[in-house]
Amino acid sequence: MYRLLSAVTVRAAAPGGLASSCGRRGVHQRAGLPPLGHGWVGGLGLGLGLALGVKLAGGLRGAAPAQSPAAPDPEASPLAEPPQAQSLAQWSPQTPAPPHSRGFARAIESSRDLLHRIKDEVGAPGIVVGVSVDGKEVWSEGLGYADVENRVPCKPETVMRIASISKSLTMVALAKLWEAGKLDLDIPVQHYVPEFPEKEYEGEKVSVTTRLLISHLSGIRHYEKDIKKVKEEKAYKALKMMKETVAFEQEKEGKSNEKNDFTKFKTEQENEAKSRNSKPGKKKNDFEQGELYLREKFENSIESLRLFKNDPLFFKPGSQFLYSTFGYTLLAAIVERASGYKYLDYMQKIFQDLDMLTTVQEENEPVIYNRARFYVYNKKKRLVNTPYVDNSYKWAGGGFLSTVGDLLKFGNAMLYGYQVGLFKNSNENLLPGYLKPETMVMMWTPVPNTEMSWDKEGKYAMAWGVVEKKQTYGSCRKQRHYASHTGGAVGASSVLLVLPEELDTETINNKVPPRGIIVSIICNMQSVGLNSTALKIALEFDKDRSD
């Protein structure tokens, strides 16, 4: 540093150095001012030297070794990646934490760790989560990649397929029409859609109604076209469930005398024989069904009916539960006829009302910002892009794109409508819900003869799966009441879960709806079960709120 300052000073004092080159001295003399002495030149040189010295010192400090960043999280991506690729995910920009999240640091850390584990177990490229507490978003974050090829990290704004959560969105359209008196849930669907033929089951004329379609009790098929396989599978499941129920009841009663033991042994032998005889053959899963990969563009819901309208019913309407996305294609046609609008136009009006501005039908042509790519593992266990599909035949049952933020808004709107009736007496200034309280109660009431495939404790209601509050033994497991819907599409999995706060007339003072936890998770990998993960996350946040 001393040598540098000396050199600059000498250069400034020398003829033709910095002082003369800048022309400042000549200007000074031409202005008629006294000539500048050598002291001025030395001062200028010293000043410039000090300035350069400070700059050089700053540069040297910047060149000093910085603190090394934390080691990359091995669960940041389940794929085998070089360290450079992992560091991109680590340093990807994150949305600042909302101010409401400060009291949930423990729940966020615990839930993030859980999501990393799930992501690592299934090998998902990316996953996005959002959580709201009492109507306020407290956490949203993306893990991994929305686009593996271009190393685009997931973020809260990432848009993905929400698959069968689309059914819950369609239910809002049906409910609004029912509330307005434009739709009767219990008359034959031919009243609205005469293009759908009247049906018979085993030679008997039967009626398919809107209510039966909503709860998957219509008998209309899903992607599996083989009636025999479906019936065998249903019979096998029913027998298995009966055996489990009998075993549980016997254990609960605690009967262990010799006579009961003999009867139990005989029953087990008979049931085992029945099971062997009735066990179904190997049935294709949904992702092996050709119709899931349709590429044909359908202009409207009526046109989509030709895929299944002439197929026979698999069961008598109302008798058995058979999950059917095609049933919701028929519901979309009913929405069109009852509302007088195209299905998508009517849904976009609903999305505007709910402030779900990033929720749209999936189409290939439009530019949709932040849209993720979708992935699957091939037979060699390599990650590949999913094939192109056109979901226009099933927009109502599984064809929308959305973000976790929009799904949280939707969940809160449903929870508000469900709870606002309880608060009306204590707070008359509350705005009405998007749906009436009695409508929401109807939608979240379990329907007999239904199943909830993602939680065997629950039943299907009206476009939602519902688990009711239950506790069998004191100081033991307490089952919370919640509503949810999962989704599975080509290259995507999703869940939206609503955990209402347990309220009574004594605890609602100084509170306003919605009261509860909403969790939404979307993932760009198919066949990822997310409901139990969402429930665990909801309970973590509920615990922090209680504390």
What letter would DSSP give residue 465? E
Identify the CA nearest to 218 among candidates 176, 240, 186: 186
CA 110 to chain centre: 19
Cβ(125)–Cβ(524) below 8 Å: yes
CA 491 to chain centre: 13
Identify the CA nearest to 447 among candidates 278, 142, 216: 216
For residue 281 the two structure tokens come to: 């053959």
CA torsion angle 526 528 531 536 (round to 10): -140
User: Is 453 a residue of the active site?
Assistant: no
Cβ(526)–Cβ(164) below 8 Å: no
- For the chain, what's the residue count? 547
> What is the distance between the alpha carbons of residues 82 and 275, in angstroms, rounded to a whole number?
50
For residue 107 the two structure tokens come to: 């729940």
For residue 348 the two structure tokens come to: 């976009």
CA distances in angstroms from 487 to 112, 340, 508, listed in the order given: 21, 29, 34
CA torsion angle 406 411 417 419 (round to 10): -140
Helix segments in 64-126, DSSP class H: 83-91, 105-122
Annotated catalytic residue within 77, 101, 164, 166? 164
> What is the distance between the alpha carbons of residues 495 and 521, in angstroms, rounded to a whole number?
5
Catalytic machinery residues? 164
